[in-house]
Chains A and B, each alone.
Chain A
Amino acid sequence: MGVKEKPVTKEEMESWRIPIPGGAAIIAPVERVAQWARKNSLWSLTFGLSCCAIEMMSTAAPRYDLDRFGMIFRATPRQADVMIVAGWVSVKMAPYIKRLYDQMPEPKYVIAMGGCACAGGPYRDSITIVKGVDHFVPVDVYVYGCPPRPENLINGILKLQDKIAREHVLTRNGDRAPHREPIIIGENA
């Protein structure tokens, strides 16, 4: 099920570059504006899988208040930028999470919250739990803890913001956009 990507070679990256005289001077400020906008308006997808979701809700609630960072929860994946996978992912649940991820528009980011989403957690020996969501979606930030405290999740979000501030607009961390494989779930789904 994993998404296998061929690492981009240096020659390939060079071949994408379009030589415009003074192009960097034009593109760099535009890029900085885009980075600023993207990092300051991370809309998250409303869904929680298990106990970590309680901590995620607490992070959004008045005491910690994610809205300070411009983060609001959107119900539809079409309007979301970041997916916080909060909790364990069973083998049955995994295709649906992959599907939600595929429905999100680029650029999109994933935060694996808690030990289970990162690596299986205490259910690592179970046959029904996926050992980490990075088996089927590319994860940007791993937030450890069981469950992580809201401060820890906010720390992860700030780390993600730093990461977005470094990435280029046309490519993601210098990589090519991740290849998307549609997952077919039954006939009527």
Chain B
Amino acid sequence: MSVRVYTSSKSYRAGQFFGGLIVALIVIAIASLLPLLPWYKLNPVLDFIGMHPWLNAFLKAFVVVNFVALHVLFLIWLERKFAGWMQARLGPKHVGWQGLGQTLADAIKLFLKEDIVPAKADRQLFAIAPFLSFMPTLLTFMVLPFSAAWIAYDYDLGALFVVAVSTNVALGVLAAGWGANNKYSILGGARAVAQLLSYEIPMVMMILAVVTLSDTMSMKQIVLRQAHLWNIVAYWPVMIPAFLIFLTCALAELNRTPFDLPEAESELVSGFHTEYSGMRFAFFYLAEFANNFFSAGFAVTLFFGGWYGPILPPVVWFTLKTLILICVMMWIRWTLPRLRIDQVMGFCWKVLVPISLVVYCITALIALK
């Protein structure tokens, strides 16, 4: 293999852009042809599954877990490619077509690596922490409405369920920080928990605003109320600040760059996953990116009309909107520098919480009218 030096010239980047555009159009065209296939022939099979609740539950869980695992492979590649474009680099290139095999190689390598448990670690806590932080993320996918039919379980208290379950990520992070018996880990874990719990308050307030306006907590119903007009358009004076606050809080909860203090490389080696190697570290990464997709999907559900859109099938619309929002998150991540810990906490309690209270009060007035 010879060494080639690529310069990311303007023409090269234009080629990448248009090439990506063409691929995206082909994918969308294929996806829009999918509803024309004779799906009704599957009805007897679906009826059979519907009659057996255990089989039904198992199949749903199987699909959700596989979707989470597979889309993370794509998202990590996208993130690295995006970082490359932002920094005038090329990003992964030589592993598979345009580096698409990169994440797969990373995943296989991580699973084959030695699994180190430090001698003085709390072994049980250390072992269970990655799964503790991955499980809540997986559970939240249960109520994410990809379309009116593609929702694993339409829970009446969907939004409340998300809030209640997703906060448990903090438990896993704290367990990782404490269990590793490492000063950087415990500092990272403590920071993560403080940040997560603080930013949960304005976030819940904004979810509550949407819930108040749509008069329901079911994720499906929230989207159904937006059939004619998205929330962010219909109630724009309150919903635009609400969305911005929601996005900020989501970034903080995901530990992404303006708020990536829990894993700040220049201060705490890698934060709460400093001592994790191989498969367990892979699980932390999986949880982070799955959470990223979920946050974006949740924002789409609350503000951007979920699966509604012209021509394309609903599932494609939902995924497309979510991917666009994820790209916005990546854009923010690779643009902004990291904040200080006191700035992070001060910004939450002195700025976000009062603003979100005001926004919520106005929303309540609108809802009363």
Contact = CB atoms under 8 A, between A and B. Distances in A.
A31 to B, nearest CB: 11
B287 to A, nearest CB: 15
B3 A69 contact: no
B3 A158 contact: yes
Nearest to B96: A40
Interface of B is mostly: loop
A174 interface: no
Contact of A70 (B3, B89, B95, B277): B95
B101 A105 contact: no
B112 A68 contact: no
B113 A106 contact: yes
Nearest to A152: B3
A75 interface: yes
Chain A interface size, under 10 / 10 to 19 / 20 to 34 / 35 or more: 20 to 34
B270 interface: yes
A38 B112 contact: yes
A67 B91 contact: yes
A144 to B, nearest CB: 16
Contact of B270 (A33, A75, A154): A75
A74 B270 contact: yes
Given A37-B105, A68-B93, A78-B275, A105 B5 contact: no
A68 B90 contact: yes
B215 interface: no
B51 interface: no
Contacts of A162: 1
A151 B4 CA distance: 9
B80 interface: yes
A46 interface: yes
A67 B84 contact: yes
Given A36-B105, A62-B89, A63-B7, A78 B116 contact: yes
Contacts of B8: 62
Interface in A66-86: 67-70, 72, 74-76, 78-79, 81
B94 A79 contact: no
Nearest to A158: B1
A96 interface: no
B102 interface: yes
Interface in B91-115: 91-95, 99, 101-102, 104-109, 112-115
Question: Most chain-B Cβ atoms within 10 A of its Cβ — which of A69, A155, A162?
Answer: A69
Contacts of A140: none
Nearest to A71: B92
A69 B95 CA distance: 7
A127 B102 CA distance: 44
Given A62-B89, A67-B92, A151-B5, A105 B116 contact: yes
A153 B8 CA distance: 20
Contacts of B156: none
Contact of A46 (B101, B115, B265, B273): B265
Interface in A39-72: 40-41, 46, 62-65, 67-70, 72
A107 interface: yes
A169 interface: yes
Interface in B211-244: none
A34 interface: yes
B285 to A, nearest CB: 10
Interface string B106-129: 111100111110000000000000
B109 A105 contact: no
B90 A79 contact: no
B13 to A, nearest CB: 12
A69 B6 CA distance: 12
B278 interface: yes
Contacts of B91: 65, 67-68
Interface of A: 33-34, 36-38, 40-41, 46, 62-65, 67-70, 72, 74-76, 78-79, 81, 103, 105-107, 151, 154-155, 158, 161-162, 169
Interface of B: 1, 3, 5-8, 80, 83-84, 87-95, 99, 101-102, 104-109, 112-116, 265, 269-270, 273-278, 281
